[in-house]
A and B are shown apart, each in its own frame.
Chain A
Amino acid sequence: MMRLPDFALRLLLVAVILLAWEGAVHLFDIPAFMLPAPSSIVLALWNGIASSLYIEHLGVTLSETLLGFVFGSIVALVLGTLIALSRRTEYFLYPFIVMFQAMPKVALAPLIIVWFGLGLTSKVAQAALTAFFPLMVNTIAGLRSADEDRVALMRSLDATEWQILTMLRAPTAMPFIMAGFEIAMVLSLIGAIVAEFVGAQKGLGMLIMGMTFTMDVAGQFSVLLILSLLGLLLNSLIVYIRKRLLFWDPAQKAAAAPVEGGTL
């Protein structure tokens, strides 16, 4: 619980920084294509939203991200389960996994555009590709983390392998999988934006690229603001679901789930 004075101080800090920024831009006469003043960013944001330009492109990027997340997650869960259950599958897939793990997935974007075109498909493909790997790794780790005593208990009850998977291994894996979902969501957004950079007709990434050519830096800042809020919203959604679902996991209360790989 934060005390009120601290909260007020925090708001004050934000206000002071924004004011200093605004003042510095005017005082030192910084050109708008280098660093726009906060006021012009807000204006650009307002104009973009009012003309429904941003809303339209936001809708496109959001659907790319969500579709990419869904497809990437399905592939990750299926592959992860197959690998976790069979060492043989893992053995044969291992070289591909290692290669794929080392490769920066966003570097595939130009190729993906060539294969899938400038429309929605290529963005979804890129988002799915960027997102699926950490979730797959977490699924494997999670399914294999079942406590030996619990497995012995299930076996002593004459449980089938399928029952051990559904009643023990899958719930045990849930904290890992939820952490994987969190990472996957961030990565799908990154994948979608990168693919839009490379070639697109719609979307917030495409908008940013367009603004680069017209030197509309205030516009770019305003789109970045929208992207930040979008990322925050998607992340909060997963965190909410995770907390509801994993009420039984003591690790959830102790600390926020480890989020990694959110920087590429």
Chain B
Amino acid sequence: MEAIAVQELSKLYPTRDGSVHALQQISFSVSEGEFVAVVGPSGCGKSTLLKILAGILPPSKGEARLRGTPITGPRRDIGVVFQSPVLLPWRCVLDNVLLPVDVQRLGRDRHQKVAMDLLSLVGLEGFERRYPWELSGGMQQRVAITRALIHNPAMLLMDEPFGALDAMTREQMNLELQRIWLERKKTVLFITHSIAEAVFLADRVFVMTPRPGRIMDDVPIDLARPRNLDIMNTPAFGEYVKRIRVQFQAKGDLDA
């Protein structure tokens, strides 16, 4: 069974001068346990795609299925990580991680231990009682990832989760995300505007173009795991990056 199956999905936003096609007849599928990155310039509808899959935005046309069932609203078998950490400042780290448990009434007692294990998995041991404002940006995003994992979802949807971090922290987070993924084997849909990040992390990279948002290419990344940062200097890595970049340059969409 496919983890994600999207069929002819379109999303139109009405504006003052007609409607804008954020997504136009997108079709793709993602297998269980696969790590897929969606790369594209801003405004190509990648966030729209993620919101539709998360069930918080209805599509205009077409259908999206998660593990065989059509998406009709928010679901409890997915975890979402947004561009900003979106932590609640009045909750300490542990309580922020347990937010999905509270909302879905899964039982705090049973999940306390899970939360502690996850926090040590992301390197936040000893920070359970700290408050979000006491943490760096990278640490906050780790809390957000932990929160997305707490209810053991089959799938992670990530919307440019490291976009706001500095380059060094970002590479560190990429390594950690790979480690977590190798350990937990979730299906991941990872949205980014960094080609290198997409190639480094993913099994497959979808290349999206804007106005209208379409998937132009589907690039399988055949690099051994676990990958380390040095892999970025190999010719094979460079080839993948080049193949993707060329498509943007042809359209004049990306200055990278």
Which residues of A come within 8 Å of B, CB atoms?
147, 149-150, 152-159, 163, 167-168, 171, 174, 248-250
- Additional A-B contact list (10), CB under 8 Å, known A167-B103, A171-B90, A248-B131: A147-B86, A153-B82, A156-B56, A156-B74, A156-B80, A157-B99, A157-B100, A159-B74, A167-B88, A248-B133
**A167 CB → nearest B CB, Å:** 7
* Contact A158 B86, beta carbon cutoff 8 Å: no
- Determine if B184 is an interface residue (Cβ-Cβ < 8 Å): no
Q: Which 6 A-B pairs have the closest CB atoms?
A: A158-B74, A248-B89, A248-B90, A156-B80, A157-B103, A155-B56
User: What separation, in Å, do the CA atoms of A245 and B104 have in the docked complex?
Assistant: 26
User: What separation, in Å, do the CA atoms of A147 and B83 have in the docked complex?
Assistant: 14
* Contact A152 B51, beta carbon cutoff 8 Å: yes
CB neighbours (8 Å) of B51 from chain A are 152
Contact of B88 among A155, A159, A163, A171 (CB under 8 A): A171
Given A167-B102, A167-B103, A248-B133, also A153-B86 (CB < 8 A): yes
Contact of A249 among B73, B89, B99, B100 (CB under 8 A): B89
* Contact B133 A250, beta carbon cutoff 8 Å: yes
CB neighbours (8 Å) of A157 from chain B are 74, 76, 99-100, 103-104
A-B contact pairs, 20 of them (CB 8 A): A147-B86, A149-B82, A149-B83, A149-B86, A152-B56, A152-B86, A153-B80, A156-B55, A156-B80, A157-B100, A157-B103, A157-B104, A158-B73, A158-B103, A167-B99, A167-B102, A168-B88, A174-B90, A248-B131, A249-B89
The contact string, 1 if C-beta is below 8 Å from chain A, for chain B 63-86, is 000000000011110101011101
Which residues of B come within 8 Å of A, CB atoms?
51, 54-56, 73-76, 78, 80, 82-84, 86, 88-90, 99-100, 102-104, 131, 133
**A151 CB → nearest B CB, Å:** 9
Closest to B75 in A: A158
User: What separation, in Å, do the CA atoms of A155 and B86 have in the docked complex?
Assistant: 13
User: What separation, in Å, do the CA atoms of A158 and B73 have in the docked complex?
Assistant: 8
User: What separation, in Å, do the CA atoms of A152 and B51 have in the docked complex?
Assistant: 9
User: What separation, in Å, do the CA atoms of A236 and B88 have in the docked complex?
Assistant: 28
* Contact B84 A149, beta carbon cutoff 8 Å: yes
Closest to B89 in A: A248
Closest to A154 in B: B103
Chain A CB count within 10 A is highest, among B51, B78, B89, for B89
Closest to A148 in B: B86
User: What separation, in Å, do the CA atoms of A246 and B220 have in the docked complex?
Assistant: 50
Do most interface residues of chain B lie in helix, strand or loop, or is the interface mixed? Answer: loop
User: What separation, in Å, do the CA atoms of A151 and B1 have in the docked complex?
Assistant: 32
* Contact B74 A155, beta carbon cutoff 8 Å: yes
* Contact B103 A159, beta carbon cutoff 8 Å: yes
User: What separation, in Å, do the CA atoms of A171 and B103 have in the docked complex?
Assistant: 15
CB neighbours (8 Å) of A158 from chain B are 73-76, 103-104
User: What separation, in Å, do the CA atoms of A154 and B100 have in the docked complex?
Assistant: 8
User: What separation, in Å, do the CA atoms of A153 and B85 have in the docked complex?
Assistant: 10
Closest to B144 in A: A153
**B58 CB → nearest A CB, Å:** 12
User: What separation, in Å, do the CA atoms of A156 and B82 have in the docked complex?
Assistant: 11
Chain A CB count within 10 A is highest, among B54, B73, B75, B86, for B86
User: What separation, in Å, do the CA atoms of A153 and B86 have in the docked complex?
Assistant: 7
User: What separation, in Å, do the CA atoms of A249 and B132 have in the docked complex?
Assistant: 11
User: What separation, in Å, do the CA atoms of A149 and B51 have in the docked complex?
Assistant: 11
CB neighbours (8 Å) of B76 from chain A are 157-158
CB neighbours (8 Å) of B80 from chain A are 153, 156
Closest to A158 in B: B74
**A168 CB → nearest B CB, Å:** 7
**B95 CB → nearest A CB, Å:** 11
User: What separation, in Å, do the CA atoms of A149 and B81 have in the docked complex?
Assistant: 11
User: What separation, in Å, do the CA atoms of A156 and B102 have in the docked complex?
Assistant: 14
User: What separation, in Å, do the CA atoms of A250 and B133 have in the docked complex?
Assistant: 9
User: What separation, in Å, do the CA atoms of A193 and B82 have in the docked complex?
Assistant: 53
**A192 CB → nearest B CB, Å:** 34
User: What separation, in Å, do the CA atoms of A154 and B56 have in the docked complex?
Assistant: 10
User: What separation, in Å, do the CA atoms of A149 and B47 have in the docked complex?
Assistant: 12
CB neighbours (8 Å) of A248 from chain B are 89-90, 131, 133
Closest to B57 in A: A152
User: What separation, in Å, do the CA atoms of A171 and B89 have in the docked complex?
Assistant: 9
User: What separation, in Å, do the CA atoms of A149 and B88 have in the docked complex?
Assistant: 11
User: What separation, in Å, do the CA atoms of A249 and B80 have in the docked complex?
Assistant: 25
**A176 CB → nearest B CB, Å:** 14
**A171 CB → nearest B CB, Å:** 5
CB neighbours (8 Å) of B73 from chain A are 158
User: What separation, in Å, do the CA atoms of A158 and B55 have in the docked complex?
Assistant: 9
CB neighbours (8 Å) of A150 from chain B are 86, 88
User: What separation, in Å, do the CA atoms of A157 and B81 have in the docked complex?
Assistant: 11
User: What separation, in Å, do the CA atoms of A145 and B54 have in the docked complex?
Assistant: 23
CB neighbours (8 Å) of B90 from chain A are 171, 174, 248
